[in-house]
């Protein structure tokens, strides 16, 4: 069971974790806004419903060769792909697995 925090009086959505809004106090307290449970318990992506891979990648992306970091956007934000050469692609895009 996740640790439940007392809601912060000035609670604001600071960001999303796999599409789930969360609060971060700038130090060590981080919790989901809907339940006040710790974000240390992973949740599935709000778009595809899948949990991250064991390495922490978005399940719909997996490990991408030549990529430093990537995010699918989880249906609530723009996605991004940051390549090793510094090129950064941002926006809403469709992920289509190769066959």
Which tens digits make up the pLDDT trace of 63-73? 889 999 999 88
Q: What pLDDT, on the 0 to 100 scale, is given for residue 83?
A: 95
CB distance 30 to 22 below 8 Å: yes
How confident is the model over 5-30, as pLDDT tens digits? Answer: 777 666 665 788 899 998 887 777 78
Angle in degrees, CA 47, 50, 54, rounded to 5: 135
Please give the C-alpha separations between residue 24 and each of 27, 31, 35, in angstroms, as whole numbers.
7, 7, 14
How confident is the model over 27-66, as pLDDT tens digits? Answer: 777 888 888 898 988 899 998 899 998 888 888 888 889 9
Q: What pLDDT, on the 0 to 100 scale, is given for residue 69?
A: 92
Average of per-residue pLDDT values in the chain: 84
- Collapsing DSSP states into helix, strand and coil, what is residue 89? strand
- The pairing of beta strand 15-17 with beta strand 79-83: unpaired
CB distance 70 to 76 below 8 Å: no
Query: In the chain, at which residue ranges do the beta strands (DSSP E only) sit?
Result: 15-17, 20-24, 30-32, 67-71, 79-83, 88-91
């Amino acid at each position: 069971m996740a640790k439940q925090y007392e809601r912060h009086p000035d609670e604001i959505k600071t960001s999303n974790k796999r599409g789930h809004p969360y609060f971060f106090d700038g130090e060590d307290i981080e919790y989901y806004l809907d339940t006040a449970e710790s974000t240390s318990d992973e949740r599935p992506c709000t778009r595809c419903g899948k949990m991250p891979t064991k390495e922490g990648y978005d399940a719909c992306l997996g490990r991408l060769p030549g990529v430093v970091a990537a995010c699918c956007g989880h249906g609530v934000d723009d996605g991004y792909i940051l390549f090793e050469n510094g090129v950064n692609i941002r926006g809403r895009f469709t992920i289509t697995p190769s066959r």
